[in-house]
Amino acid sequence: MSIHLSVEKTMTISMSNQTMVTEFILLGFPGLQANFFLPVSFAMFFEFIISLLANSTVITIIILREQLHHPMYIIIANLALSDLIYDTIALPKIIAKYWFGAGSISFNWCFFQLFCVHSLGSLDSFIIMLMAIDRYVAICKPLRYHSIISNKLVTLLCCLFWLFAFLIGLAMTLIAVQLPYCGLNRVKNCVCASPAVIVLACVDASLERKKGFIISMCVHLLPLAVIILSYILIIRVVHLSANNGNWQKAFYTCTTHLIVIGLFFIPRLFLYIINQIPVMLDADVNMLIVFLFTFIPHLANPIIFCLRTKEIRCILRQMFSSICPRTEHRFRTPVQRHGISILKGH
C-alpha cells in the first residue's frame, strides 16, 4: 500500500514539474525538406479548392433542382456536405503551416478538430454503406425500388447517421481529452486525430488506444461488410443478366464505385491495424496513407458518385449553355446547326 502511494506521489510531483500543454504543433510530413514545402502545400491547396467547388456545386444543384429530389441524390448530398465540412476544418491549418510556418493549434481547437475528424470519417462510412444498399435495391429489385426506398426513409436514415456519427466523435474526444498532456506536443499528422494525439499523453495510454481502436474498427468494418455483401449480390445479378444490354453499364458503375470505396476503407483499416502492432511505420509514409484515404476520396466522390450521372451532367450542360450560349453553339455539329436554322426559318 505504501509503495503504491509513493509511486502515485512520485508521478504527481513529476507531472507538476512539467508545463501543461496549451497548444499542439502539427508536423504534417515530418521528414519533408524545405524545398518541397511549396509544391506539397500547393497540391493540398489545389485539392482543397477543387473539393470545395465540386462538393458545394453538387449540394447546390441537388437542393435547387426539384428533379434531383430522389433518394440517391439525397444520399450524395449528405456525402458531399460531410466531405466539404471535413476539408474546411482539416486542410487550411496544414496549408498555413507550409505557407506561413503557422503549424501551432490551440488545445481546444485541436480537440474540436479531433471530434470533427472522427465524426465525419464515421459519417462517410455510414453514408457509403447507405449508397451501396440503395444501389443494391435499384439493380437487384428495380420493380420494388420506390416501395422500399423513399425520400422520407433516406432522409430519416441520414439524420440518424449524423447523430450516431456525432456520438462516435464525442466518445473518441472524451477518451483522448481526459488524459493529461504536460510534455510532448508535436502531432505527427496533418490533423489532430486520436491515435496521433493520445501518444503525447504524460501517462500510459494503452487502454485508451485500445478503446479507440475497437470503436474505429467497428465503425468501419460493419459498414464495409454490408457494402461488400451488397456489391457481391449486385455483381451476381449483373452476371446472371449478361444477355441484357444494360449489364455493361451496371458493371462499369459498380467498378468505379468499388475503386473509391477501396480507397476509403483499405488504407484506413491498414493504418489502424499497423498502429496497434509493434511495427514502426515511417512518419512520412503514415502521412501519405492518411492523405490517400482521407482527401483523395473527397476529391473523387463528387466525380464518381455525382458528376458522372446523366441527370447532373444534363443540368450542368444547361447551366453552361445559358451562361455561354456562343460556346454551346460552337460545339454543335453542322447537322444540329442546320436543323436549328430550318426550324427558325419556319
* 8 A C-beta contact, residue 260 and residue 301: yes
Q: 22-321 falls under which CATH superfamily?
A: Rhodopsin 7-helix transmembrane proteins (1.20.1070.10)
* 8 A C-beta contact, residue 264 and residue 293: yes
Any idea what DSSP says for residue 106? E
CB-count burial class (<10 Å; 0-12, 13-18, 19+) for 295: buried
User: Strand, helix or coil at 24?
Assistant: strand
Provide CB contacts within 8 A for 231, sequence distance 6+. 132, 135, 136, 254, 257, 258
Q: Which amino acid is at 203?
A: V
CB atoms closer than 10 angstroms to residue 258: 16
Q: What is the 3-state secondary structure (H, E, C) of 108-125?
A: HHHHHHHHHHHHHHHHHH
The structure's pTM equals 0.84
Write down the pLDDT at residue 249: 67
104-106: strand order across its sheet: 104-106, 23-26, 186-187
* 8 A C-beta contact, residue 133 and residue 230: yes
Per-domain boundaries in the chain: 22-321
Print pLDDT tens along the chain (346 aa).
443 434 343 334 344 445 588 899 999 888 888 888 889 899 999 989 999 998 998 899 899 888 889 999 999 999 999 999 999 999 999 999 999 888 899 999 999 999 999 999 999 999 999 999 998 998 888 889 999 999 999 999 999 999 999 999 999 999 999 999 988 889 988 899 998 899 999 999 889 999 999 999 999 999 999 999 999 998 888 777 765 556 666 667 777 778 888 888 998 998 888 888 766 778 888 888 888 888 888 888 888 777 667 777 788 778 777 776 654 455 454 544 444 443 344 4
Our CA dihedral for 43, 272, 118, 171, rounded to 10 degrees, sits at -160
Write down the pLDDT at residue 67: 85
Provide CB contacts within 8 A for 164, sequence distance 6+. 122, 126
